[in-house]
Every structure is written in structure tokens, then in C-alpha cells.
Amino acid sequence: MKKEAFKKFYRYLGKLFFPENLTCDCCGAELVFPTRYNLCSKCMADTVFAEGKVCKSCGVPLDNEADYCLNCSGKGRGLVFNRSAVVYKGTAVKLIGALKFGGKRYIARLMGAMLADRFLDAGTAADALCFVPMTAKEKKARGFNQAELIAKNLAERLNIPLCDCLVKIRETAFQKELSGKERRENLNGAFAVKPGVSLSGKKIVLVDDVFTTGATADACASALKKARAAEISSLTFAVTAYQSYGETEEKPQ
């Protein structure tokens, strides 16, 4: 009890002397007034939202009359669909880099807020949320799992249970420089549902930071299906723009 009381006291002191929402989460500029996502007007203008007409599978915005982007056309997925808050450009690239490599964990709140709005806008249904796991080695190297931070914030906002049900059972090569086929081979059989976890008949939404080729989400979906989940979709903060054009200016790290 004393330990928990001390934690609450220190959190109170932190908010008292270092109040939140005074500066932009992306560039650090002073906010002249509160904003929904804690971004300044310049960073908001540099944010490309994944809205309007999007690929029915991966959720990337489309600039044509097709239902699917070039990357998803004619391909089957383990997911019902992916939906993302933003496109991996501009502000999104900076935010993801600051969270994953700059250790700025508070950015997960902003991502959770954007994803909560996207979840509601997409009319997505879920019995539980889960997140893409890391191996113990990967998590130790970074200090945290960014997908877990985002998922926890999203679960609180939506009042949906968060299920820590997936485990990454082997180390894998970095995905950044791999082709789509290589990404899938790299992650084949890399994930499993923890023993004793029952997902039978449940609608599960998988949470991650970036959707690139969908290899990670599909590998996780495969594991969830083996645990008899009824339906699996995914929510990611960003989706890479080259999903519809075959190339991109930015490659997620």
C-alpha cells in the first residue's frame, strides 16, 4: 500500500511541476491552445490521415476506383482488414521514430487517441484487443514494446479488454530491408498464442505501430486462428504509402 501511495504522490508531483499538453508531441513547439492530438498546427498540416477511399484490405488511401491496392489485389490475408489512423509520411514518421528510438513513451497516448477515433469511424467491433509481441531480447534492447503501449492506451479509451495472449517464440531478422516475400518467410511460425488462453469465438483486433506488407499482422493472425478466434482485424497507427503505388519514400524501421 505504501509503495502504491508513493507512486501516486510522485505522479502528482510530476504533473504539478511538469504539466502535460503544453508543447507539441512531435516538434516540441509551444501550444498556444489545447489540441485534440497534442500537435501544433504545422505538424497537423504535415499529417496525412488514412481516410476517404481506402484499400478494403490494408486500409491505405487510394487515388483510383479500385477496391484494393496493388500490394493486396488478388492476395488472401488472415485478417478481415487493417485500418490505420495515418499514412507513414511526414509527422507520422517523426512520431514513430521518437517513440521507438527516442524513448518518448508518452507519444503512445497520441497514437492511442488517433486510433480510437479510427476504430469508431471504421465501425470496427472487438471482444478484445491484443498487440504484436516482442521476444525478451528485443524488448530488453528497446526497453519497452511500443505496440503494447499503444494497445494499452487504446484499450483504456475504448473500454475494451486488452488480452496479452501472443508470444514471439523465436528471434527474426530485421524486416526493414526485406522484400514482401522475405518478410513473410522471416516471420513464418514466429508467433503463438500463450498456453491456456481461450479465444474461441472471439473477435480480436491486433494493434501495432506500422502496417507495411502485412507480413507481421498475417503471422499473428495465423496464430490467433489456431486458438480458434472467430475474426481477426488489425489497427495500426500508420500504413505505408507504397501499398498502392509499389514504392515509398519512407521505409519503416
Q: Percentage of the chain with pLDDT > 70?
A: 85
> How confident is the model at residue 135, as a pLDDT?
93
Q: Which triple of cell numbers denotes residue 105?
A: 513513451
Are 101 and 133 within 8 A, CB to CB?
no
pLDDT in tens, 194-244: 999 989 999 999 999 999 988 899 999 999 999 999 999 999 999 998 544
101 contacts 243 by C-beta, under 8 angstroms: no
Q: What is the pLDDT of residues 35-48, one digit of tens each?
A: 889 999 999 999 99
pLDDT tens for each residue of 133-160: 999 999 999 999 999 999 999 999 999 9
Instruction: Classify strands 166-168 and 191-193 as parallel, antiparallel or unpaired.
Output: antiparallel
The DSSP element (H or E) to which 59 belongs, if any, is: none
Average pLDDT, the chain: 87
What whole-number distance in Å separates Cα of residue 15 and Cα of residue 241? 37
pLDDT above 60: residue 246: no
